[in-house]
């Protein structure tokens, strides 16, 4: 085996960041840790491996790789041994042990960790968005949202926004109140991005009465009166007609059921764009 001069060629069928970080972490334990690292991403066949190993031979370098493909790992190992190059298979041994202890076959999909990581951060971003633009706090969110939910108070706007956020959808919600003019931003976006929520007067009456009792306010407030409720629903219906947006009935529906309908509408509209 030749003596490595401190140069390391790292190969991967994805970006190769994992291999590079491992090599840097190890190199830092030796003197200044100034290893010359040449990263070779998206290698998906034996020809790509051969080209990198030829370079490594010229540089008298070490080879490190993070292939999820067993075939590429085996080929790299065999070729490095043949060329008497020092090498490290970073993922292989760990994957083999995981397979043994779980009895589950790996997906063998390059870059899957990065995809999961990106999905996580998109979900967090959508949750933060839903909180920031909940209940019409800032109408600027209407312009940035993937979907905007409209409805009178207690039509499940907030829980639906959070449910959509967990699906990585940025949802803003706006309460419709007769005494407050709707935000002008509602008329500046595609009405297909707006979804109105409506509910039967009797169920809304029941929900609002329970809400008032929970707050210790009694159930005789105008907030829960049938006259007020009918006025609000009529006002909301006119706004939704004016916007020409789709409307969903939420009466006697669980959040998950309404969210399923919302997702169907969003998928359909995205497909028509």
Are 147 and 230 in the same domain?
yes
Question: Measured between alpha carbons, how far is 234 from 153 in angstroms, rounded to an integer?
Answer: 13
Q: Which domain holds residue 50?
A: 7-110
Looking at the fold, whether 89 and 135 belong to one and the same domain comes out as no
pLDDT category of residue 116 using cuts at 50, 70 and 90 = low
Q: For residues 107 and 227, what is the distance between their CA atoms, to the nearest angstrom?
A: 59
209-217 contacts, C-beta under 8 A, 24 or more apart: 211/154
Whether residue 263 is found in the same domain as residue 212: yes
- Judge if 101 and 135 occupy the same domain: no
Per the domain annotation, does 58 fall within a domain?
Answer: yes
The answer as to whether 57 is a domain residue is yes
251 and 175 in one domain?
Answer: yes
The DSSP letter of residue 60 is T
Indicate the number of domains in the chain.
Answer: 2
Helices (H) and strands (E) in the chain, counts: 10, 8
Whether residues 169 and 266 fall in one domain: yes
One domain, residues 250 and 151: yes
Could you say which of 110, 131, 166 is where a domain stops?
Answer: 110
Identify whether 1 is part of a domain: no
Query: Which of 91-100, 116-125, 159-168 ranks highest by mean pLDDT?
Result: 159-168
- 229-258 burial: b if 16+ Cβ within 10 Å, else e: beebbebbeebbeebebbbbebeebeeeeb
Rounded Cα distance between 144 and 174, Å, is: 14
- Which of the listed residues 110, 125, 144 is the one where a domain comes to its end? 110
pLDDT tens track for 201-233: 999 999 999 989 888 887 778 999 999 999 999
Strand partners, 196: 150, 247
More confident residue, 49 or 92: 49
| CB contact at 8 A, 16 and 30 | no
CATH number where 211 lies = 3.40.50
More confident of the two residues 129 and 118: 129
The reported pLDDT for the residue numbered 251 is: 96
pTM score over 0.75: no
Q: What is the pLDDT of residues 59-85, one digit of tens each?
A: 999 999 989 888 999 999 999 999 999
Mean pLDDT, residues 80-99: 90
Q: How confident is the model at residue 191 (pLDDT cuts 50, 70, 90)?
A: very high
Binding-site residue ranges for ADP:
151-158
Contacts of 36 by beta carbon, 8 Å cutoff, 6+ apart = 6, 7, 8
Judge if 18 and 143 occupy the same domain: no
**Confidence (pLDDT) at 63:** 95
223 and 103 in a common domain: no
Q: What pLDDT sits at residue 1?
A: 45
Residue 147 lies in a domain: yes
CA distance 4 to 132: 54
Is the predicted pLDDT of residue 32 greater than 60, yes or no?
A: no
Same-domain status, 155 and 84: no
Percent of the chain with pLDDT over 90: 63
Helix (H, G, I), strand (E, B) or coil at 120: helix
Annotated binding site: 151-158
Ranges assigned E (strand) in the chain: 7-12, 36-40, 62-66, 87-89, 147-151, 171-175, 194-198, 247-249
Average pLDDT, whole number, for the chain? 89
Same domain, 29 and 83: yes
Q: Clarify whether residues 36 and 149 are in a common domain.
A: no
Residue 2 lies in a domain: no
């Amino acid at each position: 085996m030749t003596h490595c001069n401190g140069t390391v060629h790292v190969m991967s069928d994805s970006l190769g960041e994992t291999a590079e970080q491992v090599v840097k972490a190890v190199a830092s334990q030796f003197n200044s840790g100034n290893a010359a690292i040449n990263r070779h991403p998206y290698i998906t066949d034996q020809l790509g491996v051969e080209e990198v190993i030829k370079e490594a031979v010229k540089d008298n370098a070490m080879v490190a790789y993070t292939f999820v493909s067993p075939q590429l790992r085996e080929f790299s190992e065999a070729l490095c041994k043949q060329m008497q190059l020092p090498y490290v298979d970073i993922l292989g041994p760990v994957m083999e042990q995981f397979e043994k202890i779980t009895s589950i076959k790996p997906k063998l999909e390059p870059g899957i960790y990065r995809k999961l990581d990106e999905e996580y951060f998109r979900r967090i971003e959508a949750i933060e968005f839903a909180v920031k633009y909940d209940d019409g706090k800032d109408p600027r969110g209407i312009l940035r949202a993937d979907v905007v939910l409209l409805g009178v108070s207690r039509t499940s706007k907030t829980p639906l926004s959070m449910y959509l956020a967990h699906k990585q959808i940025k949802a803003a919600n706006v309460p419709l109140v007769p005494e407050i003019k709707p935000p002008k931003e509602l008329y500046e976006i595609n009405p297909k991005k707006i979804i109105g929520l409506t509910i039967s007067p009797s169920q809304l009456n029941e929900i609002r009465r329970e809400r008032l009792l929970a707050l210790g306010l009694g159930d005789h407030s105008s907030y829960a009166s049938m006259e007020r409720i009918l006025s609000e629903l009529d006002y909301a219906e006119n706004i939704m007609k004016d916007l020409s947006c789709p409307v969903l009935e939420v009466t006697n529906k669980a959040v998950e059921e309404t969210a399923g309908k919302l997702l169907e509408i969003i998928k359909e509209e995205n497909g028509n764009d």
